[in-house]
């Protein structure tokens, strides 16, 4: 009799997901699916609104990564106001946006590693859930936990000084920015009292990488084989030289062997190359490269993919780590799901280095904040959000009202890979099992968590997101149920 195992986090308003695992009569996993309810109403909501409101409006989408949406929208509107695709901004305009972006990257990656992932590494997937959390980290590795908290705080400070305020920031506007960085703000971030300064953030980023690499050294089988599968990888890279560039560039994709399958194409043309498939069992679409088709054209995005597509990292310490990362797979793309964490920490170090470099750049105190040129009616903004490539596409009419909005968020880009990862994990951990164990639940979570999906953005009020895993038979009779 086929059985279903369901992992269902129930959220209050929107953005929830559940995992369904079908088991056949022999107890073998037949198929696994990750269902994510994605909030799509935003694209209709902005229609008719003046285009210049978009960078603020989009922050309603997500209280977790509002900066990414803010900047992607601003980049799209740069095109509409004739300020190019980002490269056309003034020096202070582009550099302030980059500083904001690196601050967002830094705090987001730090949260993911210290808060969500490090407990798995420190205590193991099967460890007692009572200690497998950041409280457990605090109890057993207090210095590491304090570092995580203070690094988060530093990243938030960078955002505050560049976006203007913590909620509904207005730092980026079409064609530029609305504030520069004062000398006082620069000195707080660059030379703040220990540990809240740029040098310490670089130092701690290196230490976090060493922590991961030590874990990897002692747990190679787990880290290298857990939910490992070949795939394509997509990101933007710097147009001039293929460097890792989180803010601006051209679209590049490689296959699992490293062959270029999307060759540095203009982001304005993204919809010539990317299609989104609708499947009846999921509200979230499945993007793929058109010319390869649905079966072969899906791809991964995010830290692992970015390090697979770029040619080098333009900051010295992160580049050194990148070389070690690439050497591990002999220069070929890395398809190991848990290596997302390794890549994420290399990017954390890169962001810390970029923040330090930018804070020393006098262009940040320039006064020429905005430029404008000849207006157009369509603009596409593509940015590398912490979780992966983020597309914002707007079209306007002659009255400056938005007539079309299309967003492809990072978690949507990773929809198919997360499904594949869950399937691999289910087959590894659940074949032949008759009841749900904490270790099984967390194994599925670990596979999904590697992609750092943002399932529950925007609202959060009290009492929200239990994780429920239910084992039912073909008649939907509950055989086992676990909630956490």
Partner 1 sequence: MEPKKRVLVYGYGNPGRQDDGIGNEMVNMIQRWIETHHLTCMQTDSNYQLNIEDAEKISTWDIVVFVDATQETRINEYKFKPVEPSEAQVEFTMHAVSPEYVLHLAQKLFNKSPETYVLAIKGYEFELKEGLTDNAKLNLEQAFQFLTRQLAGWALIKKNLPISMLS
**What is the contact surface with partner 1 in residues (CB under 8 A)?**
9, 12-13, 41-42, 45, 57, 59-60, 63-64, 66, 111, 114-116, 119, 129-130, 132-135, 138-139, 142, 145-146, 148-150, 152-153, 156, 166-168, 445, 448-449, 452-467, 484
Please tell me the distance from the alpha carbon of residue 433 to that of residue 430, in angstroms, as a whole number: 5
CB of 54 to partner 1, least distance (A): 13
Q: Are 74 and 84 in contact (CB under 8 A)?
A: no
DSSP 207: H
Count of beta carbons in the 10 Å neighbourhood of residue 5: 27
**CA distances for 216 relative to 14, 128, 152, 384, 450, angstroms:** 36, 21, 24, 26, 15
Please tell me the distance from the alpha carbon of residue 72 to that of residue 313, in angstroms, as a whole number: 22
Largest CA distance in the chain: 70
Count of beta carbons in the 10 Å neighbourhood of residue 475: 7
Q: Are 412 and 9 in contact (CB under 8 A)?
A: no
CB of 265 to partner 1, least distance (A): 31
Q: Nearest CA to 36 among 73, 7, 62?
A: 7
The secondary structure of 87-136 as a DSSP string is: TTS-HHHHHHHHHHHHHHHHHHHHIIIIIIIHHHHHH-TTS-TTTSSHHH
CB of 136 to partner 1, least distance (A): 9
CB of 460 to partner 1, least distance (A): 5
Q: Are 18 and 33 in contact (CB under 8 A)?
A: no
Scan for tokens 């420190």, then name that residue. Answer: 122
CB of 24 to partner 1, least distance (A): 27
DSSP 377: S
Q: Are 63 and 119 in contact (CB under 8 A)?
A: no
Please tell me the distance from the alpha carbon of residue 388 to that of residue 452, in angstroms, as a whole number: 9
Scan for tokens 């209709």, then name that residue. Answer: 44
Cβ neighbors of 466 (< 8 A, separation 6 or more) are 9, 10, 483, 484
- 467-473 vs 3-9, strand pairing mode: antiparallel
Q: Nearest CA to 69 among 39, 17, 41, 104?
A: 104
Question: Of 213 and 464, which CB lies nearer to partner 1 in the complex structure?
Answer: 464
């Amino acid at each position: 009799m086929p059985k279903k195992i369901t992992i269902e986090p129930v959220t209050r308003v929107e953005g929830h997901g559940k995992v369904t695992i079908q088991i056949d009569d022999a107890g073998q996993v037949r198929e696994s699916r990750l269902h994510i309810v994605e909030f799509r109403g935003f694209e209709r909501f902005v229609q008719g609104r003046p285009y210049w409101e978009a960078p603020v409006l989009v922050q309603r989408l997500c209280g977790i990564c509002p900066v990414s949406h803010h900047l992607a929208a601003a980049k799209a509107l740069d095109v509409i106001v004739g300020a190019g695709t980002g490269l056309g901004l003034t020096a202070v305009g582009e550099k302030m946006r980059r500083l904001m972006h690196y601050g967002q990257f830094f705090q987001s990656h730090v949260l993911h590693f210290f808060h969500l992932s490090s407990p798995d590494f420190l205590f193991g997937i099967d460890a007692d859930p009572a200690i497998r959390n950041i409280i457990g980290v605090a109890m057993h590795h207090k210095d590491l936990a304090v570092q995580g908290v203070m690094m988060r705080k530093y990243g938030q400070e960078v955002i505050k000084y560049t976006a203007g305020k913590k909620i509904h920031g207005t730092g980026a506007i079409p064609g530029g920015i609305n504030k520069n960085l004062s000398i006082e703000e620069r000195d707080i971030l660059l030379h703040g009292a220990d540990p809240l300064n740029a040098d310490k953030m670089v130092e701690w980023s290196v230490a976090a990488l060493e922590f991961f690499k030590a874990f990897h050294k002692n747990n190679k089988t787990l880290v290298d084989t857990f939910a490992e599968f070949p795939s394509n990888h997509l990101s933007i890279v710097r147009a001039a030289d293929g460097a890792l560039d989180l803010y601006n560039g051209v679209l590049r994709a490689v296959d699992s062997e490293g062959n270029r399958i999307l060759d540095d194409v203009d982001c304005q043309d993204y919809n010539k190359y990317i299609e989104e498939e609708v499947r009846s069992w999921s509200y979230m679409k499945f993007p793929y490269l058109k010319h390869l088709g649905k079966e072969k054209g899906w791809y991964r995005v995010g830290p692992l993919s970015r390090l697979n597509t770029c040619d080098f990292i333009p900051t010295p310490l992160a580049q050194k780590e990148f070389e070690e990362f690439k050497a591990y797979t002999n220069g070929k793309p890395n398809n190991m799901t848990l290596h997302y964490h390794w890549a994420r920490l290399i990017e954390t170090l890169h962001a810390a280095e970029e923040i330090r470099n930018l804070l020393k750049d006098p262009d940040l105190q320039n006064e020429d904040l905005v430029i404008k040129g000849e207006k157009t009616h369509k603009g596409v903004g593509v940015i590398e959000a912490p979780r992966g490539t983020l597309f914002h596409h707007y079209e306007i009419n002659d009255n400056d009202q938005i007539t079309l909005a299309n967003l492809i968020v990072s978690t949507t880009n990773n929809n198919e890979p997360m499904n594949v990862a869950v399937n691999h994990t289910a087959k590894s951990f659940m074949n032949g099992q008759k009841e749900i164990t904490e270790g099984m639940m967390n194994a599925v979570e670990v596979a999904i968590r590697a992609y750092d999906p943002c399932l529950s953005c925007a609202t959060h009020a009290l009492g929200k997101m239990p994780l429920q895993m239910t084992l039912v038979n073909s008649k939907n009779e509950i055989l086992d149920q676990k909630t956490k």
